[in-house]
Amino acid sequence: MTTPKFASAGDMAEKAVSFTKLGEGLFAYTAEGDPNTGIIVGDESCMVIDAQATPLMARDVIARVKAVTDKPIKYVLLSHYHAVRVLGASAFGASEIIASEQTRKLIVERGEQDKASEIGRFPRLFRGVDSVPPGMTWPTLTFTGTLTLWLGKRRVEISHLGRGHTAGDTVAWVPDAGVMFSGDLVEYKSACYCGDAHFRDWPKTLDRLAGFQPKALVPGRGDALIGAAKVSEAIGGTRDFLAATFGTAEQAVAQGKSLKETFAAVRAAMDKPFGGYAIYEHCLPFNVSRAYDEARGIDWPVVWTDVRDREMWASLQGS
Answering whether pTM is above 0.75, one says yes
Q: What proportion of the chain, given as a percentage, has pLDDT over 90? A: 95
Confidence band for 319, pLDDT divided at 50, 70 and 90? low
Given a cut of 80, is residue 277 above it in pLDDT?
A: yes
The predicted-structure confidence for 109-145, as pLDDT tens digits, reads as follows 999 999 999 999 999 999 999 999 999 999 999 999 9
Domain segments of the chain as ranges = 18-317
pLDDT value, residue 4:
80
Distances (CA, A) of 267 to 81, 185, 224, 252, 280: 27, 22, 28, 12, 10
Given a cut of 90, is residue 164 above it in pLDDT?
A: yes
267/257 Cα distance (integer angstroms): 14
Given a cut of 60, is residue 266 above it in pLDDT?
A: yes
Residue 130, C-beta contacts closer than 8 angstroms, at least 6 positions apart: none
CATH number corresponding to 18-317: 3.60.15.10
270/11 Cα distance (integer angstroms): 21
CB-hemisphere CA count at 13 Å for 18?
16
pLDDT value, residue 10:
87
191/193 Cα distance (integer angstroms): 6
Distances (CA, A) of 169 to 51, 146, 214, 221: 15, 12, 18, 15
173/158 Cα distance (integer angstroms): 6
pLDDT value, residue 11:
86
